[in-house]
């Protein structure tokens, strides 16, 4: 998609929060520095805290001080930012906000375009959306868009209630639900690897692929998020959104065109094709874990149940491994394994496509084992794509050895990689919803995940069941072992 330089007034609710300071302001700065934002923009920071404009702009400058770009005066960038103390329950505040937006629109010549970003607690999403509509803040002359952070509901029922509230004020094509994994460069590379290479797409099916593995692991525990996390868990926090989104990108059919509607249509077909399971079958397809005490890099670490805000008898999972089966012609019989967990051996986000073995091993008599061919897409800690092949050893014999061909973004020319929020903000400003999540995707994923949640909530687990600093519980390995597979090493 060809982009022009956007014009807009950006209104950030939750402007003094951690997300805004760590992600949003640095991302807007990078867009500004890279010429993706013109001078025709303004940002209104909305929050309860009583700050002055000067205080707010000092916060902005602090959040971008790491860049230290000699070509950009931080004061010039910060001059586009304005603070607006706000009570989301007070309707008069919306009326004043509307007048302020109109004033900045005229000053910065933003053509009446408005982007509302809800970077705050989700229990306010519906209220804010309804009040923006009722007080005329969305009756502008240009475009209107709404960005919503996850979590989008706690289950299908609450997600549907929230969606109904928001849809009273905004149309579906105005709503941009963030999944920051979809902004990661190497996750977006899934489509390019598949659809821009004649080498792979003909092999991308159950005739040639043995299994696909998706890992998203962290070395950190819940830290200070114990109270929130104990109400969520890894299944809702990671699998319902990030992991299923990656599975849908890997399994989707080639879209008719590379536009949001066609890509979304193919992703939705994947979610509809997930093999149905009932609560009695959950243990055959899903494994849960919770971390115990352990050690990482010589540091002693506490157990999940010892974390601040966590129930000392908590049944909340900090690890999930799953086997998804997709009932369609392309993928019948191919397991999609996913795992995600906290306090694991390594922080990693990677995808492994394992191709099937050859029908005959010609090197068997020489005592060689032929390693499977693997295509690995890694988003963290390094951004790289590796292809694992077999080749002749460098000696007088004809035996084989595994070799690796790789593309490493770190060593590539022109290797600037935009941060995920930078990409997603840029997409939204241009009206490109490709890398955002449609309501149909949210609904289908919640309906599937609710079955697992209900089964686990009614069944007490034997937690804790894995040591901090390891690769998760033994049952996570056994899930693959039942099919003769194993996790590729983190």
What would the two tokens of residue 392 be?
Answer: 């002749």
Q: Catalytic residue, from 242, 411, 430, 486: name it.
A: 242
Write the CA distances from 421 to 438, 446, 482, integer angstroms: 18, 24, 39
Least confident of 168-172, 295-299, 452-456: 295-299
Q: Look at residue 210 in the predicted model and tell me its pLDDT.
A: 98
Mean pLDDT lowest among 14-23, 160-169, 207-216, 360-369: 360-369
Complete DSSP assignment for 281-341: GHHHHEEEE-EEEEEETTEEE--GGGSTT--TT----SEEEEEEEB-STTTTT-EEEEEEE
Element counts in the chain: helices (H) and strands (E): 15, 17
Of 442, 149, 487, 184, the C-alpha closest to 341 is: 487
Across all residues in the chain, what is the average pLDDT? 92
Query: Cα(241)–Cα(237) distance, rounded to whole angstroms?
Result: 7
Q: pLDDT digit string (tens) for 48-84?
A: 999 999 999 999 999 999 998 888 899 999 999 999 9
At 381, the pLDDT band (50, 70, 90 cuts) reads confident
Residue 374 and residue 487 in contact, taking contact as beta carbons nearer than 8 Å: no
Residue 239 sits at φ, ψ, to 5 deg, of -70, -45
Quick check: 407 and 375 in contact, CB under 8 A? no
Query: Within 10 Å of residue 394's Cβ, how many Cβ atoms?
Result: 7
411 noted as active-site residue: no
How far apart are alpha carbons 177 and 435 in whole angstroms? 9
The pLDDT score that the predictor gives to residue 431 is 96
* Poorest-pLDDT segment among 114-118, 244-248, 313-317, 411-415: 411-415
pLDDT tens per residue across span 423-449: 999 999 999 999 999 999 999 999 999
Q: Are 440 and 261 in contact (CB under 8 A)?
A: no
pLDDT digits (tens, 9 = 90+) for 145-197: 999 998 899 999 999 999 999 999 999 999 999 999 999 988 999 999 999 99
% residues pLDDT > 70 (the chain): 96
Rounded to the nearest 10 degrees, how much is the dihedral formed by the CA atoms of 218, 219, 221, 222?
A: -40
pLDDT at 2 over 60: no
Percent of the chain with pLDDT over 90: 82
Structure tokens that stand for 188 in this block: 């977006």
Residues 392-425 have pLDDT tens digits of 776 666 677 788 888 887 766 566 788 999 999 9
Q: Is the dihedral of CA 175, 179, 185, 191 positive or negative?
A: negative
Counting every residue, how long is the chain?
A: 490
């Amino acid at each position: 998609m060809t982009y022009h330089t956007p014009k807009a007034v950006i209104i950030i609710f939750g402007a003094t929060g951690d997300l805004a300071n760590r992600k949003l302001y640095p991302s807007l700065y990078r867009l500004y520095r890279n010429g993706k934002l013109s001078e025709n923009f303004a940002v209104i920071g909305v929050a309860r805290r009583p700050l002055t404009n000067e205080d707010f702009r000092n916060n902005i400058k602090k959040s971008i001080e790491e860049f230290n770009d000699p070509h950009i005066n931080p004061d010039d960038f910060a001059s586009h930012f304005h603070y607006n103390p706000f009570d989301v329950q007070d309707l008069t505040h919306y009326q004043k906000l509307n007048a302020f937006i109109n004033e900045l629109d005229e000053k910065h010549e933003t053509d009446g375009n408005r982007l509302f970003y809800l970077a705050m607690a989700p229990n306010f999403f519906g209220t804010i959306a309804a009040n923006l509509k009722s007080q005329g803040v969305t009756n502008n002359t240009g475009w209107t868009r709404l960005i919503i952070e996850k979590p989008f509901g706690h289950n299908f029922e609450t997600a549907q209630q929230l969606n109904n509230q928001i849809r009273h004020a905004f149309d579906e094509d105005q709503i941009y639900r963030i999944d920051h994994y979809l902004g990661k460069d190497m996750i977006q590379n899934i489509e390019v690897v598949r659809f821009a290479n004649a080498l792979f797409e003909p092999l991308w099916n159950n005739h040639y692929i043995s299994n696909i593995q998706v890992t998203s692991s962290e070395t950190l525990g819940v830290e200070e998020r114990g109270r929130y996390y104990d109400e969520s868990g890894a299944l809702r926090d990671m699998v319902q959104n990030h992991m299923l989104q990656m599975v849908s990108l890997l399994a989707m059919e080639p879209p008719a065109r590379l536009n949001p509607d066609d890509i979304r249509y193919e992703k939705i077909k994947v979610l509809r094709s997930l093999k149905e399971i009932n609560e009695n079958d959950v243990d055959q397809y899903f494994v849960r874990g919770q971390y115990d005490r352990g050690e990482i890099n010589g540091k002693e670490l506490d157990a999940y149940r010892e974390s601040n805000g966590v129930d000392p008898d908590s049944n909340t999972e900090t690890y999930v491994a799953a086997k998804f089966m997709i009932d369609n012609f392309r993928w019948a019989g191919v397991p999609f394994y996913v795992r995600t967990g906290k306090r694991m051996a390594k922080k990693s986000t990677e995808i492994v496509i394992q191709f099937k073995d050859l029908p005959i091993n010609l090197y068997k008599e020489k005592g060689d084992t032929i390693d499977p061919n693997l295509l690995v897409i890694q988003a963290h800690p390094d951004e790289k794509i590796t292809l694992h092949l077999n080749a002749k050893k460098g000696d007088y014999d004809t035996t084989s050895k595994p070799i690796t061909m790789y593309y490493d973004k770190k060593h590539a020319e022109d290797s600037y990689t935009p941060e995920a929020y930078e990409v997603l903000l840029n997409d939204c400003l241009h009206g490109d919803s490709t890398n955002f999540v449609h309501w149909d995707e949210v609904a289908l994923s919640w309906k599937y995940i609710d079955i697992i949640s209900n089964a686990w909530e009614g069944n007490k687990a034997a937690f804790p069941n894995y040591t901090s600093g390891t690769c998760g519980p033994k049952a996570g390995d056994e899930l693959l072992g039942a099919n003769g597979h194993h996790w590729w090493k983190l």
